[in-house]
Structure 1
């Protein structure tokens, strides 16, 4: 017996209509125009789309497995029925009417000429079934049954005493189709429910997660340039949003501190400029109206000194502005700190300056600004030293160390940071008559910070010591 198990004609699905529609320029432009711009909406749509794709693939796999198993079961029943009929035909005991098993729609046995030799009761008296347009692979003209049937047809060829015969057994797929339709509907309803649930949960969860972000945004939008004391709300926990809020508040702290420093600097600068300008105008008025030439000469000399002081103050203010302008520290080159210290110490002053340490000490930086740093430190020491100023150089742990020590009155521990504030003068050690502007040490510390170093003051026996630490220059390659 030869056995053929034809497959059914597959169902035709819809074409790529949506793909062709989206390919049109106007439709693509409309889709882009109406695309959601909210993070909440985009996140919800992305979650729903992802879950829908997963459910679609999973449902398709389930339906495919179910369909294959159901068809295999129906096919096995039809094939078993066909084999039983073929055995009867081979034994020559083929009756004219054949009984149907459960799930079998029809049985028909024909000879090589197409003459019906036996059939089930529903095909009794009917001619041989004609194959359909698919060449007999599974679709037959079953108009004799009075209805169209979706069937699985098994065809066997058997040798009989009167010649070969063809046995066709059709098994109904109605039960399999019904089960597949019910499963499809159930999976569709369940998938829609799951997608809707994921959408609702994602929408609510995203909204709850973004609520602190919206609070931060609205608070930042409400903060004006004169309301830098306000802060954004910090949510509990240590997630990304909480860290964002803390970072925003830290930034607002820095902005507020910068604003306070700027206002204080402007007020101090205005005060510092107002006093010498008032004195200068008074001196010029007296010199202009006083009849005594000697008095006029003295007034003009005093005016010249105040003008020099104003010039020095304006230069210091300009330098501070440059130091505050985004780290504009000029070109960086190799600098011999020891040579720079000896040059600064050799400048004329009321007291000699002793320099000790290695003959060379290389650092990287702006030589003009580093020279200004050393000059400021030595000028400060000359104003307060009694009889001795010493500059000590050393290299320690990859750092260049420069110390400027004097035997002056020293600096109290409570004032060791305050002296680096702008326009600060200690009452017992500094005055306007000393020629200082109160900007030398702040400028020196800012220059040190721009070069990656630090400037501090330490107490010493019989005076004060300013300690400058800078990174050593990298050694030249081979």
Structure 2
């Protein structure tokens, strides 16, 4: 069992670690994507600011050779006309996207040198600007720039402007992406270092918490093993104070042990009582047979037959109780109680008190004809033993129930004993002879059969027994 618990702890720790790992990977990926996007947007904004500063100078009439351009390594800037000739370029800017800027200095003009304006994307896209205006629309592109022999990636902002003479130019300013990539790389490295450490912590904490949570289960297992070894069903497993699933498991286990103890005790009493009841007719029968062997003329054949019949009935009762205790389901036949009452009454011609038949209402019930007939016979036998001059049986309808009533004019059952009489081997009159009182199994069998047919059997008044069964179908 400890191996099973260890496996449960390992599975819980592994499962929790896997879930946390997936969650952290998803969250880390989302953080890196958002961080990269934000840093790119920031780089684009810086490039836009640099491009607008240069475009504003051009729009206000500053000569190209007088433009105040930012340092090339910080924000590489290239100004080209509509034909793609570089009019101005940042200091030390040698090429953009692999295309040389012609070594132009601010204001150099470098006619014929091809620059970024060669791209179709940099051509005039139909925007009509007035002299001295700067286009509000900005186009962002990723590319490379060669600054003083060093090639790096940049985020470029491209916009259009017209100088005071009406010449339209394209201003392209970049912002380095290396800080963004360095920041993303640093965060990624921190995540790669921190993620395994965090997963180790999660696995350890989950292992310890699962071990603590399963400790009561181990206590329950140990106590159950001790109970099994000792066969002492009076022992109970420890119940933790928590109101969780483990606590409910412990309480349910104790309830099961209590039911099992009660069942075993009931079985022991049943075996003891059955042995006691069987001992008397067997001993009597053996005595008569031994006397008959020694003195044939003294053999009481009628007495021997009576003891044999009594023994046969007791064995049949015990066998039926055993089948009922084993959970045998009754047959699903349709039984008419009124017809069953008429048939049973017609066969009881030798009863001490004649059976009177009252109302016999229609209505069928589902179940075993033989078992229900046994119930009726046991109720009539009980009434015959206690009646003074009258036994009456009737069948009535009560909504969705068929009710069989058997009553006699005897002294009745005391109120305190109306449930006790349905226990096995119980006789209220201990002084009466066994031959007259029976073994005390008839009413117990009758109630068990009634309950297994979905009904009930009870004493409604002192001498009225009422069997209630649901109408079939």
Which segment drifts farther, 422-431 or 316-325? Answer: 422-431
Is 1:131–1:139's contact at 8 Å kept on the other side of the alignment? Answer: no
Structure 1: runs of 5+ lacking an equivalent:
1-35
CA displacement, residues 289-331 of structure 1 (integer Å, 9 cap, x when unaligned)? 116x2x23x2x332222112111111111111111121332x2
Deviation at 1:450, TM superposition (A): 0.9
Q: Distance in 2 between matches of 1:256 and 1:422?
A: 18
Q: Distance in 1 between matches of 2:169 and 2:343?
A: 122
Q: Report the CA distance shift for 1:273/1:104 in structure 2 as closer, same or farther (over 3 A).
A: same
Q: Distance in 1 between matches of 2:432 and 2:71?
A: 119
Q: Report the CA distance shift for 1:459/1:139 in structure 2 as closer, same or farther (over 3 A).
A: closer
Is 1:81–1:101's contact at 8 Å kept on the other side of the alignment? Answer: no
1:46 equivalenced with 2:15 (yes/no) = yes
Q: Report the CA distance shift for 1:129/1:433 in structure 2 as closer, same or farther (over 3 A).
A: closer
Deviation at 1:418, TM superposition (A): 2.8
Deviation at 1:238, TM superposition (A): 3.7
For the residue of structure 2 that corresponds to 1:437, the secondary structure is coil
Is 2:57–2:67's contact at 8 Å kept on the other side of the alignment? Answer: no
Match in the other structure for 1:264: 269
Deviation at 1:392, TM superposition (A): 3.2
| 1:44-443 matches, cutoff 5 A | 44-85=13-54, 93-95=63-65, 99-100=69-70, 104-108=74-78, 118-123=88-93, 130-131=98-99, 138-140=142-144, 142=146, 145-154=148-157, 168-185=172-189, 198-224=202-228, 226-290=231-295, 293=297, 295-296=298-299, 298=300, 300-329=301-330, 331-346=331-346, 347-348=348-349, 349-428=351-430, 430-434=432-436, 436-443=438-445
Q: Distance in 1 between matches of 2:144 and 2:416?
A: 107
Match in the other structure for 1:16: none
Is 2:353–2:391's contact at 8 Å kept on the other side of the alignment? Answer: yes
Deviation at 1:377, TM superposition (A): 0.9
Is 1:336–1:362's contact at 8 Å kept on the other side of the alignment? Answer: yes
CA displacement, residues 430-473 of structure 1 (integer Å, 9 cap, x when unaligned)? 4222272322111111111111112123553xxx2222222233
Q: Distance in 2 between matches of 1:321 and 1:138?
A: 89
Q: Distance in 1 between matches of 2:286 and 2:97?
A: 127
Match of 1:457 among 444, 456, 459: 459
Deviation at 1:367, TM superposition (A): 1.4
Structure 2: runs of 5+ lacking an equivalent:
101-117, 120-140
TM superposition score normalised by structure 2 = 0.77
Q: Distance in 2 between matches of 1:396 and 1:320?
A: 29
- Equivalent pairs counted in the alignment come to 426
Deviation at 1:110, TM superposition (A): 6.4
Q: Distance in 2 between matches of 1:421 and 1:166?
A: 107
For the residue of structure 1 that corresponds to 2:439, the secondary structure is coil
Is 2:44–2:175's contact at 8 Å kept on the other side of the alignment? Answer: yes
Q: Report the CA distance shift for 1:172/1:427 in structure 2 as closer, same or farther (over 3 A).
A: same
For the residue of structure 1 that corresponds to 2:216, the secondary structure is helix
CA displacement, residues 382-407 of structure 1 (integer Å, 9 cap, x when unaligned)? 12222211113322243222222222
Q: Distance in 2 between matches of 1:455 and 1:271?
A: 27
Q: Distance in 1 between matches of 2:166 and 2:444?
A: 122
For the residue of structure 1 that corresponds to 2:335, the secondary structure is strand
Q: Report the CA distance shift for 1:141/1:459 in structure 2 as closer, same or farther (over 3 A).
A: closer
Q: Report the CA distance shift for 1:166/1:317 in structure 2 as closer, same or farther (over 3 A).
A: same
